[in-house]
Amino acid sequence: MSYAEPRKVKLKKEVLRFLFKPLSTKAVQRLVKSWGFGTVGDLKKEEIINILKGKEVVLPKFLDLLLLYDQNTVFKHGTWYVYKYNNTLENIDARELERVLNEKLAGRGKAVFNVFEISRNKEYYIIYLYEEGALLVQQWDYNYRIIKPVAHIRGILNLEKQTLLIGGDSNKKLEEFRKTLQKALATKFTPVRFPPYVLQEIAENESVERASFACDSQLSGVKGIQKITIEGDNVFDGIKGLKARQEIDFRRVGPLIEAETSKVYASTEGKVILKDKKAKNRILEKISEAQ
């Protein structure tokens, strides 16, 4: 994708197959109808792909597909940093926020913001697309080409819970995203850290499959180890058993700093993976209550 080209996307079979994979057939059928290609009835995904290959859609319609893909993958499996803000924000017009954000990008090269309203609970999905450094790619023998890959930072802004989740691989761009959104909304986002007792509350009534404890040398008397991680079907029950039978108590080495269940991962650094909607709402509620 290049920002210099007309804002249309040519649909390729391998790309559609990749993006359709986590989607239900019904979701794909509704999407294609909204693209203006007519009703596809009860056709299977592969049959729909054969109809679409080679056709073009305008970028906003293609972004609807990326949003559906992210809702079924990144929303559930991506790692997010958690932020909160204190002033009240009313309903946001997604298109107006998108316009203001892009105005504030003036002079920052080839980059663009897109904003989607994703739920009735005043929740917005914000994507910051930017070009990374050029890559030299070898195709065959001595035939090379230069490409400029497009990367992105993702954000989920929840007005009811007064929280912002940000995910992405570049810390520099993550900060750029946060600061630009702060200016656009005239607010300040501050990072959330989860104390060990909050991790315990998040994990209560669920089987913890992975837990990490900070290995404080002053408490454990051991140097050279910074973190001890335990994995299993039910880590906390296992720790109780080790303490009762073998007098091994991992809690004494230091505080709990990571906990993961089948539904959620959270760390004292403020990183979370929200594997289902209920877990996400529960964590956002705790953050909201703590403000």
CA distance 91 to 93: 7
- Residues of the chain scoring pLDDT < 70: 1-6, 107-109, 132-142, 144-150, 216-222, 251, 288-291
Domain boundaries, the chain: 8-72, 77-191, 196-269
| Residue labelled with tokens 């009811």 | 160
Span 218-255, pLDDT tens digits: 555 567 777 888 898 888 888 888 877 777 777 677 78
Dihedral (CA of 42, 46, 51, 52) sign: positive
CA distance 267 to 273: 10
Reference 63, options 100, 15, 4, 114; nearest CA is: 114
Q: Give me 50's structure tokens.
A: 């054969």
Q: State the pLDDT at residue 218.
A: 58
8 Å CB contact between 229 and 211: yes
Q: State the pLDDT at residue 2.
A: 39
CA distance 9 to 163: 33
